[in-house]
């Protein structure tokens, strides 16, 4: 009797496919630059708000836009409702691509980031509820520490100069995509008080039209951009947060390639819009949202007030424990095993990066404590402090393994045959080894020729 066939063991954080690796490299390059601009915008916002506070408040509260269309909004609201819709549009496209062509396309591959993301949101929410509730604080801010800011996290990686392997970077990016999905659901479900059903129905009808035009193959930005603005304006007036319009439009795009296409329409549009999102929309949102007064008294309140302490502990400890614990459980209770090139301390270090919550955390903080400006500012300060602590902690932990990461990164990027494809993806192909044999034979012939010249010129006679 033959031995029963064993089930195949999956590898957690294993090597990416070549298309995924190329897409990841392009996406992370843009997000890293955007993250640096985000850091600069946050610093500029803090300096502006703490040196010229009245000027900052005057600009942020300045209203403009057509009142007849319900769009006479402050600069701060234009940034939160308008510019972040671009950010969430990219998040929607990214999520759609992950579901149909990326890491989330198969249930077995989706298990790890989904479990990690769910635990990474549930644990911080629980931590906030316990800490704030025990201190007699408001429980409205339970969702503030649940979101990770991928651009900010990548900017931290760029600053500390850590060459994380592609698998860890992909894990962080996919985790943030799933994180954004749940953050969108939280905003839609828990932060929608009154609904204008007529405006919402109009937005839904225009969204269906948007989808139909895409399926019919209609081309032209002059068709889709005005329609997108109409959908966004109707969503603003519906009472549902306007960023939902962005993610809904992103999810309608086709992200699979057809014969003759180098890339799908979704990937093409994402490639065009991502720099706008990372380089302009998110930094401008940060400029008008991160401007809180920082003083010794205000910083002391972050560690004393139950709501702000809940946010702080939720991001720094809750996120780390949730993401790491979810990943460990995925490995413990499935047949998956960790990539042998990595170790659990590596996963823990990356998990601390998830505690960097900026863009979406600031947005949820504004929604959760709307009408309580002082508490809103204090919660924003808590997000900033928690993000800084998480960044420093992650930087220290990642630096301890930087030599190992550098070796793995260099191995992933090595291309000795010069064909533009990393050698690690061609080691099972006979043609690659034949090319390498020719290259080495040419080098050997050149060294023999140089050795003969050295002998003829009176150099040492060596064998």
Give the pLDDT mean for 311-317.
94
Q: Which of 397, 303, 401 is nearest to 352 (CA)?
A: 397
Comparing 173 with 54, the larger pLDDT belongs to 54
pLDDT, residue 90, reads 87
- Write the pLDDT tens digit of every residue in 12-26: 666 666 666 666 666
Whether residue 289 is predicted with pLDDT greater than 80 in this model: the reply is: yes
Q: Which of 131, 153, 190, 140 is nearest to 320 (CA)?
A: 153
- Write the pLDDT tens digit of every residue in 31-49: 677 778 888 888 898 899 8
Question: Where residue 398 falls among pLDDT bands split at 50, 70, 90?
Answer: confident
pLDDT, residue 220, reads 87
Whether residue 204 is predicted with pLDDT greater than 90 in this model: the reply is: yes
| 5-11 CB contacts, 8 Å cutoff, 24+ apart | 7/335, 8/335, 9/335, 9/336, 9/337, 10/108, 10/334, 10/335, 10/336, 10/337, 11/336, 11/337, 11/338, 11/339
- Write the pLDDT tens digit of every residue in 110-149: 677 788 888 999 999 999 999 999 989 899 999 999 888 8
- Write the pLDDT tens digit of every residue in 431-445: 888 888 888 888 898
Whether residue 184 is predicted with pLDDT greater than 50 in this model: the reply is: yes
pLDDT, residue 195, reads 85
Comparing 47 with 175, the larger pLDDT belongs to 47
**What is the C-alpha to C-alpha distance for residues 2 and 4, in angstroms, rounded to an integer?**
6
Percentage of the chain beyond pLDDT 90 is 19
3-state secondary structure of 433: helix
Give the pLDDT mean for 412-422.
78
pLDDT, residue 93, reads 87
User: What pTM was computed for the model?
Assistant: 0.77
What is the chain's mean pLDDT, rounded? 83
Q: With both helix axes pointing from N to C terminus, report the angle between 319-332 and 107-134 in degrees, rounded to the nearest 10.
A: 140
pLDDT, residue 7, reads 45
Whether residue 316 is predicted with pLDDT greater than 90 in this model: the reply is: yes
């Amino acid at each position: 009797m033959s031995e029963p066939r064993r089930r195949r063991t999956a590898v957690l954080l294993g090597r990416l496919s070549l298309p995924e690796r190329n897409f990841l490299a392009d996406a992370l390059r843009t997000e890293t630059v955007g993250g640096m601009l985000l850091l600069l915008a946050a610093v500029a916002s803090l300096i502006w708000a703490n040196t010229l506070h009245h000027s900052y408040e005057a600009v942020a509260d300045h209203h403009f836009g057509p009142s007849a269309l319900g769009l006479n909004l402050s600069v701060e609201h234009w940034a939160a409702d308008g510019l972040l819709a671009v950010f969430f549009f990219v998040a929607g496209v990214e999520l759609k691509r992950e579901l149909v062509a990326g890491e989330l396309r198969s249930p077995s591959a989706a298990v790890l980031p989904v479990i990690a993301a769910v635990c990474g949101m549930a644990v911080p929410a629980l931590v906030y509820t316990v800490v704030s509730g025990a201190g007699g604080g408001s429980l409205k801010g339970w969702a503030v520490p649940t979101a990770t800011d991928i651009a900010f996290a990548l900017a931290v990686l760029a600053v500390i100069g850590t060459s994380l392997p592609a698998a860890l970077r992909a894990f962080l990016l996919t985790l943030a995509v799933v994180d954004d999905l749940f953050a969108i659901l939280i905003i839609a479900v828990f932060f929608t008080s009154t609904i204008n059903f007529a405006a919402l129905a109009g937005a839904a009808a225009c969204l269906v039209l948007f989808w139909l035009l895409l399926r019919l193959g209609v081309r032209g930005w002059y068709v889709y951009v005005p329609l997108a603005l109409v959908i966004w304006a109707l969503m603003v007036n519906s009472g549902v947060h306007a960023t939902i319009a962005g993610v809904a439009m992103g999810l309608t795009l086709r992200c699979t390639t057809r014969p003759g296409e180098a890339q799908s329409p979704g990937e093409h549009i994402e490639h065009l819009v991502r720099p706008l999102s990372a380089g302009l929309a998110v930094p401008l949102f940060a400029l008008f949202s991160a401007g809180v007064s920082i003083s010794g008294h205000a910083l002391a309140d972050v560690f004393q007030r139950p709501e702000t302490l809940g946010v702080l502990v939720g991001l720094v400890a809750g996120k780390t424990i949730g993401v790491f614990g979810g990943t460990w459980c995925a490995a413990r209770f499935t047949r998956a095993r960790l990539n042998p090139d990595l170790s659990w301390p590596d996963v823990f270090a990356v998990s601390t990066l998830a505690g960097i919550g900026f863009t979406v955390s600031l947005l949820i903080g504004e929604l959760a404590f709307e009408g309580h400006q002082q508490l809103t500012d204090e919660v924003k300060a808590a997000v900033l402090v928690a993000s800084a602590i998480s960044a420093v902690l992650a930087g220290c932990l990642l630096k301890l393994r930087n030599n190992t990461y550098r070796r793995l990164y260099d191995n992933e990027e090595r291309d000795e045959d010069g064909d533009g494809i990393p050698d690690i993806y061609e080691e099972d192909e006979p043609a690659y080894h034949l090319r390498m044999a020719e290259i080495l034979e040419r080098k050997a012939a050149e060294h023999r020729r140089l050795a003969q010249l050295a002998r003829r010129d009176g150099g040492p006679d060596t064998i």
